């Protein structure tokens, strides 16, 4: 069984545990994202589903599907790029921590890593003492991946 299918099965099980359904369209969008190591916009996903699976998904439903997947932490939205990536913890059972996304500015590859020991409460405290309210704790960091670094050198 390939990696995408394996992740899909885990996603399906997680949805079942929460009493929600990973419908075939939701599965389709998720598998399109899982098969890409780059972030994709809703429109790019609509195109990919048409190309790869011969399925037409209207943009409005694509956004709804992505909202669903996002609310169950199966995908994440990168606020800066306005694109989506599949969560890299779909196959994990641990609690989802605060993520930071390393985004290669050369090849747009995205890697999700956990923010380690910093808890949402600590972050919230810092933000509030600066006079702001925390909306979304996720971090997006502008990087160059190792592969692109070697190419440039």
Residue (55 or 138) nearer to Zn ion, CB: 138
Question: Smallest distance from the beta carbon of 129 to Zn ion, in angstroms?
Answer: 27
Question: Smallest distance from the beta carbon of 44 to Zn ion, in angstroms?
Answer: 18
* DSSP structure string for 63-107: HHHHHHHHHTTSEEEETTTTEEEE-TTTT--SPP--EEEEEETTT
Residue (32 or 86) nearer to Zn ion, CB: 86
| Residue 146 structure tokens | 């190792």
**Mutual angle of helices 24-34 and 42-53, in 10-degree steps:** 100
Residue (65 or 69) nearer to Zn ion, CB: 69
Question: Smallest distance from the beta carbon of 55 to Zn ion, in angstroms?
Answer: 25
Q: What is the dihedral of CA 10, 13, 19, 20, to 10 degrees?
A: 50
Residues that bind Zn ion (CB under 5 A): 87, 89, 92, 104, 106-107, 109, 145, 148
| Residue 132 structure tokens | 């702001």
Residue 32 and residue 85: Cα distance in Å, rounded?
10
Residue (2 or 93) nearer to Zn ion, CB: 93
Question: Phi/psi at 83 (nearest 5 deg)?
Answer: -130, 170
Question: Smallest distance from the beta carbon of 88 to Zn ion, in angstroms?
Answer: 6
Residue (115 or 127) nearer to Zn ion, CB: 115
Whose CA is closest to 147, among 91, 102, 93? 102
């Amino acid at each position: 069984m390939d990696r995408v299918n394996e992740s899909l099965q885990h996603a399906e099980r997680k949805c079942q545990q929460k009493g929600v359904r990973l419908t075939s369209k939701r599965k389709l969008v998720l598998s399109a994202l899982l098969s890409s190591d780059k972030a994709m916009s809703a429109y790019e996903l609509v195109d990919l589903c048409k190309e790869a699976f011969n399925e037409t998904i209207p943009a409005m439903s694509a956004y709804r599907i992505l909202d669903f997947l996002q609310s169950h932490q199966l995908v994440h939205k990168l606020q800066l790029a306005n694109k989506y990536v599949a969560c890299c913890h779909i196959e994990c059972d641990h609690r989802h921590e605060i993520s930071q996304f390393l985004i290669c500015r050369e090849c747009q590859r995205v890697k999700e890593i956990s923010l380690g020991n910093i808890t949402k409460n600590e972050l919230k405290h810092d933000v509030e003492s600066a006079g702001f309210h925390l909306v979304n704790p996720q971090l997006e960091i502008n990087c160059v991946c190792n592969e692109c670094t070697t190419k440039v050198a």
